[in-house]
A and B are shown apart, each in its own frame.
Chain A
Amino acid sequence: MSTAGASASETSYQPVFTGETMAALETLFERYPTKQACMLPALWMVQEARGWISERAMAEVAEVIGVTPAYVKGVVTFYTMYHTHPVGRNVIQVCTTTPCSLCGAEAVLRTILQETGCEELGRTSTDGRFTVQEVECLGACGFATPILVNDDFIESVTPERVAGLLEGYK
């Protein structure tokens, strides 16, 4: 994931879908019955490129897909995995649903918040390295507590393991 980047204001906005990215999207279009059906992958491409999806970017996706910006915003805000605010270079998602909670997920979460310097859920650490989020069930109740760092799925995390795990993410 790239840096959250300076906010994409109206004037300085650089379109995501140019050159290779646009070509990649064009290829994706072929796999879907309509352009509109390709909206989720298109949004992923934006998030991969920019780290988050600004309102200006939603408007760009709308234009590329051929729907209205309002429609795209509805979709983006519906899914929790699209970021509508800038995030750190690494996004950590911690499962705190009932089974994990019973197995001490809160302690894991507290430790992560401390170690990363984020201090609060949803906030980005001052060095821009981490953003920590709470998620509902990651589907690994037998291996509590699972966390998701970017695309890496890590099971059986305990407070003791946290510091070591975070080492690998700069």
Chain B
Amino acid sequence: MSDALVTVTIDGIEVQVPRGTPLIEAAKQAGILVPHYCYHPSLPAPAVCRMCLVEVEKAPKLLPACVTTVTDGQVVHVNSDAALKARESVLEFLLINHPLDCPICDQAGECELQDYVFQEGRAATRYADYAKRFNPVEDFGPDVLYIPNRCILCTRCVRFMEAVAEDPVLNVSERGDRSYIGIFPDAVLDHEWAGNVVDLCPVGSLVSKDFLHKARAWDLDRTASICPGCSQGCNMTIDTRDNVVVRLRPRPNMDVNRHFMCDTGRQDYRWMNRGDRIEAPLIRAGDKLQAVDWASALDRLADTLRGADGKAVILASARASTESLGMTHRLLDGFELTAAVRVPTGHEAPLASIPNLALREERTPNVAGAELTGYTRAWDEALDQAVSAQVVVVLDEELAPDEFDRVRTAGTVVVLGTVDHPAYQAADIVLPIATMAEEHGSYVNRDGRAQVYRQAKASPGMARPAWWVAAEAAGRLAEGRAVPATAGDAIVMLGQSIPALAGLTYQSMGFTGRPVASAAASGVES
């Protein structure tokens, strides 16, 4: 092993890295970020931006850290006078034609050009009298706008489309200071994963039309989450502004989605901001539903379930967390229980060059988690059972009107829902629950990887996480039964009775998740 490792000294810090590691990655391990534009860990490195020039002892001139691989005993100076001078010049060149329109640029605040110029650029320009190059804004595709004046020609977008998406519709047109990112006239940047070029762009040159002028970067709160769009379970960040979700972006996870996220997942956030939510627990009083406090609602639920006898059915959404699914299942385990999730499907859209990464056919995030906690996909059978069941619990799934009509013949209909629906007037108990953006929870993706998502915004009214509702009701049913205080407690508690989830904690899942004990998952091999 040791011969595969080489030792390099970077700015006085000694690190051991595998042979063949680029200097820029070795520097990261030493805790030093070498400024860079064209380099990106998930793209081929062309060394075109010259921003990552560093001084390597015994090398005749400065070397680009992104394509220089480490050698044993190398001594590197990232912040030597020569390196700083070179990078200052690179920045000066980049700014000759840059419009400096940061006040109206979406990237401001998360712009690498801003950051590095602030960090090591010149204080003032020497090109004040020079007329800047101008090119008009171009519409590249459904969600991508190209603002050539801001472009620094790092070519990350070109390389992403060429090497990763394998749909090379972008090019570098013209040359020298006239260069710009071109698209062939008939071509449209409408690849299913094209939105990633916006994230990859280190400056505000490629911007999302959807996010255009919506928020300033520093106004956003960022929350680590998991994309609920399909069973792939891409790690993402939810950006909220004043409790409103304004953007979803990929969060790096080398084992799941690398640095990418598909456009379908990226755009699927509007439901998180819906205003037509159930805001208070409702219980049946005569021929109508009455809003009550949680204690009364939970008491009513417990009363209904006490002395469990006969059939119960859970009709759940596979968008619910493992905690919620598990706790709801546990609540009804005294009954003869049928539990099913509905799995909507769509087309599959792989990202060409990344193995095992695609927008999946199964368009819910937690099918595997549901199966581990005792749910099946036999939705129609469960619906048939529900007609004659004692208790039916609808968990986070919106039933079609005809489905609900069938279900209401059951003894008691309990809805744990987010969005208000006229059909719920026929239910006996309607409890407001939080969406995945409003709670902590975890999903198990199709490869059996359990991943945590965090609460990104406050839930409306009195809505609470579904696992809390189910666990509190269960606590009322059986004296002394432990009630989890947090979602983290809930998953630990489930682990005690479900072998596959044993040992799972939020700490062990961390920010990138871990495989569940038995990766029974959905059984789909990559």
Chain A residues with CB under 8 Å of chain B are: 55, 58-59, 67-71, 73-74, 77-78
Could you give, for residues 418-437 of chain B, a 1 whenever the CB lies within 8 Å of some chain A CB and a 0 otherwise? 00000000000000000000
Please state if B169 and A77 are interface contacts (CB–CB under 8 Å): no
Please state if B168 and A68 are interface contacts (CB–CB under 8 Å): yes
- In the complex, which residues of chain A have a beta carbon less than 8 angstroms from the beta carbon of B171? 70-71, 73-74
- In the complex, which residues of chain A have a beta carbon less than 8 angstroms from the beta carbon of B186? 59, 69
Please state if B174 and A77 are interface contacts (CB–CB under 8 Å): yes
Main secondary structure of the interface of B (DSSP, over half): loop
**Extra contacts besides A69-B187, A74-B171 (8): CB < 8 Å:** A58-B184, A68-B169, A69-B184, A70-B168, A71-B171, A74-B172, A77-B173, A77-B174
Please state if A73 and B175 are interface contacts (CB–CB under 8 Å): no
Chain B nearest Cβ from A137, distance in angstroms: 15
Chain A nearest Cβ from B162, distance in angstroms: 8
Q: How far is the CA of A58 from the CA of B182 in the complex (A)?
A: 14
Chain B nearest Cβ from A165, distance in angstroms: 31
Please state if A68 and B182 are interface contacts (CB–CB under 8 Å): no
Asked whether B183 is an interface residue with its Cβ less than 8 Å from the other chain, the reply is: yes
- How many B residues are at the interface, by size bracket? 10 to 19
Chain B residues with CB under 8 Å of chain A are: 168-175, 182-187
- In the complex, which residues of chain B have a beta carbon less than 8 angstroms from the beta carbon of A67? 168
Main secondary structure of the interface of A (DSSP, over half): helix
CB nearest neighbor in B for A69: B184
Please state if A78 and B184 are interface contacts (CB–CB under 8 Å): no
Q: How far is the CA of A135 from the CA of B187 in the complex (A)?
A: 32
Given A69-B187, A70-B183, CB of A77 within 8 Å of CB of B175? yes
Please state if A78 and B170 are interface contacts (CB–CB under 8 Å): no
Please state if A55 and B182 are interface contacts (CB–CB under 8 Å): no
Chain A nearest Cβ from B467, distance in angstroms: 50
Chain B nearest Cβ from A40, distance in angstroms: 15
Given A59-B184, A68-B184, A70-B184, CB of A78 within 8 Å of CB of B168? no
Please state if A78 and B175 are interface contacts (CB–CB under 8 Å): yes
Q: How far is the CA of A59 from the CA of B174 in the complex (A)?
A: 17
For this complex, 21 residue pairs linking A to B, each with C-beta atoms less than 8 Å apart, are A55-B184, A55-B185, A59-B184, A59-B186, A68-B168, A68-B169, A68-B184, A69-B184, A69-B187, A70-B168, A70-B169, A70-B170, A70-B182, A70-B184, A70-B187, A71-B168, A74-B171, A74-B173, A74-B182, A77-B173, A78-B172
CB nearest neighbor in B for A10: B186
Q: How far is the CA of A71 from the CA of B173 in the complex (A)?
A: 9
Q: How far is the CA of A77 from the CA of B184 in the complex (A)?
A: 12
- In the complex, which residues of chain B have a beta carbon less than 8 angstroms from the beta carbon of A58? 184
CB nearest neighbor in B for A76: B173
Chain A nearest Cβ from B98, distance in angstroms: 22
Q: How far is the CA of A121 from the CA of B173 in the complex (A)?
A: 22
- In the complex, which residues of chain B have a beta carbon less than 8 angstroms from the beta carbon of A73? 171, 173, 182, 184
Q: How far is the CA of A68 from the CA of B166 in the complex (A)?
A: 11
CB nearest neighbor in B for A68: B168
